[in-house]
Chains A and B, each alone.
Chain A
């Protein structure tokens, strides 16, 4: 097979296939999502699913590993926070079938709510960290990961980043064939798999013994290698994407490329350090390698150039180069003509998105909105401007209840998406009913996981592989949890949305409003098929429809200074009718005959 042009995520899926992976589970999250979507192409050979959250995904991987299968679990960086609990104990118990976890960090927060270096958590969990620099390494490391996990009994992490996941490069996948690996037998062994204190105390020593074996693995690993350079006054230690930038910004220097980064190949780095003047460590985010090297008693050359926050790139390493080498090689910045002022192009809720009318109404009702994570977080942007807080998935509910407990008297709504509700909203809601919280939980139910690219969830009615399955009703879940006041509304009926929200926000009891409207993109609603239009004779330039922030509604004629008629871009409108309902002058209507 000749070389394939693959993204890091596609390469992992191929590597897992080549390694004979049997079971794969994940919860979507940028930049990790496409791994499982590519694994799904191997259905029949790899049993795969979208799990409801990362903790469950990891527990499925653990169960599969206990049963002897080779398991893969994928998540974005914050997903590992959710999955820490099973991780921290299974690392004690040790694998049977190999367990490989992909944890994808997002340096620079291209599409995340925070920045965190999960290598810290991997070290904390005494797991192996492999850090690919490109798609070839993503493939090679994935292919090697299960053998390593089974040989050592350890959980193996592939630490991806947005850059390594979403960059593509050429990959030699060998013959591309499926690894013919039979699952190991399951052998009942409570001393290994039941971590009651008596067993856990024995395991505690096993974990440390395993770490010693892992250190030897790291020292011998082909993923750690020295690359010579013409100059030796400095030598670089670098991993992952940072390695690429070092090669480009410091082409004449030797590099110790760390691929197997936890545990650290300390002796090989010590030997490398002996050959160079000063050892400079470059890595993305926290000083994980640097601290481990210093702890091993190897002196490093620290620097003042800021490289510990946000995504690295060649430019930032050139700044380091100027610090280390003085003016040498620094190019003078060329004069550039000034740019005219340019309008920003932020992401917005789609034209016709059902979330819009709910935010419009909540703003109208002057509710304080604790928000959550999904497309609907865009409700924070003007002109809707109707979100007060966003923390992590599921936090809207606890945060609203906490505000209430703190004595906040105003209208309080927790707004959460359907996928987020199933992920970690249900437990928060149970807490609210149990403890008699007077807040309203609004579930924006578009029956899909929109933000991450429309993955099905338990409310969709089909699985990852497109098979029909149960369609869990959020209203029924709420009732089963004990919520007495549960309403379902159609997001495109604004009068109903307003009537119900007003009543619920003021009811003084736990209440749930499921606001249903399928996702415009996922349901492939026909954009431009039967658009609405503004009748210029009736439009009074009042600007009410502009408050919706719909991309299909644009400024038309200026009727007085600063006052504009509205106009609807027919090619962008799906005819959702929300603007027509907002218009006080009935100037907007469908173009349908």
Chain B
């Protein structure tokens, strides 16, 4: 009895998480669903963790996802995906980027580096883990700043929305001159998870 689908997006300020969440939410709306999106910004431009939650279904009440009820985690950073593990349902899936941005606490030596985040991810999520290398895809698309749309492309494979709904949401959210390169990144991300 799982009428609402819960998607949590996590990462680091500057990775384009909020835009990706917005495109996802608009896609769900295009598909005729009720949708709520929640985000906490404020310190996001200064290298802090950023997260956004998108919930869609016939009727959504709370914009925030109860603890441990994320159906699909989208992590732009491997360590953030480990951190977010408690928020994911036992059967929930995780789409996790290959990227790991070293936190200032580690680079400055205040805290130890995390031990083998990729191993931890595999252990925690097992077969529910999907990896994507958005930076490679964005480079292939021709603009490193389209990594988030490559992730959106991969994400589109995991959700039941028609591709056209994604493309229309994406076009609606980007400045005209950036649409083409972002569409390319989206297509590459979509192909990567085929």
Seen from chain A, the residues whose Cβ lies within 8 Å of a Cβ on chain B are 3, 5, 30-31, 110-111, 134, 162-163, 166-170, 241, 244-245, 247-248, 313-315, 318, 334, 336-337, 339-350, 375, 378, 382-383, 453, 521, 546, 549, 551, 553-555, 564, 569
List 21 contacting pairs A-B, 8 Å CB cutoff, sorted by A: A5-B26, A5-B35, A5-B37, A110-B42, A134-B63, A163-B63, A166-B40, A167-B38, A244-B61, A244-B63, A248-B61, A334-B68, A343-B105, A349-B46, A375-B46, A378-B46, A551-B104, A553-B107, A553-B108, A555-B108, A564-B109
- Of residues 29 through 62 on chain B, the ones whose CB sits less than 8 Å from some CB of chain A are 29, 34-49, 60-62
User: Are the CB atoms of A551 and B47 closer together than 8 Å?
Assistant: yes
Whether a CB of chain A sits under 8 angstroms from the CB of B170 is: no
The answer to whether B108 touches A383, judged by C-beta atoms less than 8 angstroms apart, is yes
Contact mask for chain B residues 81-111; partner A; CB cutoff 8 A; 1 contact, 0 none: 0110110001000000000001111111111
The answer to whether B107 and A341 have CB atoms under 8 Å apart is no
- For A30, give the chain B residue with the smallest CB separation: B42
Contacts of A344 in B (CB 8 A): 103, 105, 111
Contact A170-B35, Cβ < 8 Å, known A334-B68, A345-B12: yes
Q: Which B residues are within 8 Å of any A CB, using their own CB?
A: 12-13, 22, 25-26, 29, 34-49, 60-64, 66-68, 79-80, 82-83, 85-86, 90, 102-115, 120, 123-124
Chain B residues within an 8 Å CB radius of A549 = 104, 108
- List the B side residues contacting A521 at CB < 8 Å: 45
In the complex, which residues of chain B have a beta carbon less than 8 angstroms from the beta carbon of A341?
112, 114-115
Cα distance, A214 to B148, chains bound together (Å) = 50
A554 to B106, CA, bound (A): 8
Q: Which residue of A lies closest to B45 (CB)?
A: A521
B166 to chain A, nearest CB (A): 15
Cross-chain contact B66 with A318 (CB below 8 angstroms): yes
Contact between chains at B83 and A342 (CB < 8 Å): yes
A sample of 20 more A-B contacts (CB under 8 A), given A30-B42, A345-B80, A555-B108, is A30-B41, A111-B43, A162-B40, A163-B64, A167-B63, A168-B36, A169-B37, A170-B35, A241-B63, A245-B61, A339-B82, A341-B112, A343-B105, A343-B112, A343-B114, A344-B103, A344-B105, A348-B47, A383-B110, A546-B109
Contacts of B103 in A (CB 8 A): 343-345
A346 to B114 alpha-carbon distance, docked (Å): 15
Measured in the bound complex, the distance between the Cα atoms of B108 and A383 in whole Å is 9
**B59 vs chain A, min Cβ distance (A):** 9
- A308–B26 alpha-carbon span in the complex (Å): 34
- B176 CB to closest chain A CB (Å) equals 18
Shortest Cβ distance from B84 into A: residue? A339
Per the bound structure, the CA–CA distance linking A383 and B123 in Å amounts to 34
Closest-by-CB residue of B relative to A563 is: B109
Q: Which residues of A contact B44 (CB under 8 A)?
A: 347
The 3 closest A-B pairs by CB, nearest first: A111-B42, A554-B107, A347-B48
> Is there contact, CB below 8 Å, between A343 and B66?
no
Contact B82 A342 (CB under 8 A): yes
Least CB distance, B13 to chain A, in whole angstroms: 8
B109 touching A3, Cβ below 8 Å: no
- Contact status B112-A315, CB under 8 Å: no
A110 to B40, CA, bound (A): 7
Taking CB atoms, residues of chain A closer than 8 Å to B110 are: 382-383
Whole-angstrom distance between the Cβ of B106 and the nearest chain A Cβ: 5
Would B115 and A340 count as touching, CB distance under 8 A? yes
Picked from B36, B38, B86, the residue with its CB within 8 Å of the CB of A336 is B86
Output the nearest chain A residue to B120 by Cβ-Cβ distance: A340
Bound state CA distance, A444 and B79, in angstroms?
A: 34
Given A163-B38, A167-B37, A313-B62, CB of A546 within 8 Å of CB of B26 = no
A227 to B115, CA, bound (A): 52
B46 & A350 in contact (Cβ 8 Å cutoff): yes
CB distance from A24 to the nearest CB of B (A): 22
Q: In angstroms, how far is the closest chain B Cβ from the Cβ of A350?
A: 6
Among candidates B48, B60, B64, B66, residue contacting A346 with C-beta atoms closer than 8 Å: B48
CB distance from A26 to the nearest CB of B (A): 17
A-chain residues with CB within 8 Å of residue B106 when the two chains form the complex: 343
Query: Closest CB of chain A to B84's CB: distance in Å?
Result: 10
Residues of A within 8 A of B68 (CB): 334, 336
Distance in Å: Cβ of B46 to nearest Cβ of chain A: 4
Is the pair B108, A346 in contact by a Cβ cutoff of 8 Å?
A: no
A453 to B90, CA, bound (A): 38
Query: How far is B92's CA from A336's CA once the two chains are assembled, in angstroms?
Result: 13
Docked-complex contact B114 and A342, CB < 8 angstroms: yes
Q: Which among A168, A245, A334 has the highest number of chain B CB atoms within 10 Å?
A: A168
Of A111, A347, A453, A553, the most chain B CB neighbours within 10 A belong to A347
Nearest A residue to B29 by beta-carbon distance? A5
Instruction: For the complex, give the distance between the alpha carbons of A24 and B12 in Å.
Output: 34
- Please name the residue on chain A nearest to B85 by beta carbon: A339
Query: For the complex, what is the distance from the CA of A375 to the CA of B102, rounded to whole Å?
Result: 22
A334 pairs with B45, CB closer than 8 A: no
Docked Cα-Cα span, A169 to B26, in Å, equals: 10
B48 near A166: Cβ-Cβ < 8 Å: no
**Which residues from chain B contact A30 at a C-beta distance below 8 Å?**
41-42
Residues of B with C-beta under 8 A to A375: 46
Q: Does the CB pair A346–B37 fall under 8 Å? A: no
Instruction: Return the contact of B90 from the options A3, A248, A334 (Cβ within 8 A).
Output: A334
With a CB–CB cut-off of 8 A, which chain A residues contact B34? 169-170
Given A168-B36, A344-B111, residue A247 in contact with residue B47 (CB < 8 A): no
Contact A314 B66 (CB under 8 A): yes
Q: Find A314's partner among B41, B62, B107 (CB 8 Å cutoff).
A: B62
Interchain CB contact under 8 A, A551 and B107: yes
Contact B46 A169 (CB under 8 A): no
A168 touches B46 (CB 8 A): no
* Among A3, A5, A315, contact of B66 (Cβ-Cβ < 8 Å): A315
Question: B105 and A546: CB pair below 8 A?
Answer: no
Please give, as numbers and ranges, the residues of chain A lying within 8 Å of B40 by CB-CB distance: 110, 162, 166
Most buried by B among A111, A167, A315, A521: A167
- Which residues of A lie under 8 Å from residue B25 when comparing CB positions? 5, 168
Q: How distant is the Cα of A336 from the Cα of B135 in the complex, in angstroms?
A: 31
Chain A residues with Cβ below 8 Å from B64 are 163, 313-314
Please state if A555 and B112 are interface contacts (CB–CB under 8 Å). Answer: no
Q: Are B36 and A340 in contact (CB under 8 A)?
A: no
Residue of A whose beta carbon sits closest to that of B39: A166
Give which listed residue, B60, B66, B83, contacts A339 with CB less than 8 A. B83
A332 to chain B, nearest CB (A): 12
Q: Which residue of B lies closest to A106 (CB)?
A: B42
For the complex, give the distance between the alpha carbons of A169 and B68 in Å.
23
Nearest CB of B to A477, in Å? 28
User: In this complex, what residue of A is CB-closest to B33?
Assistant: A170
- Residues of A within 8 Å of B42, CB to CB, are 30-31, 110-111
Quote the shortest CB–CB distance from A98 to chain B (angstroms). Answer: 29
Distance A64 CA – B166 CA, assembled complex (angstroms): 45
Knowing A166-B40, A339-B85, say if A247 contacts B102 (CB, 8 Å): no
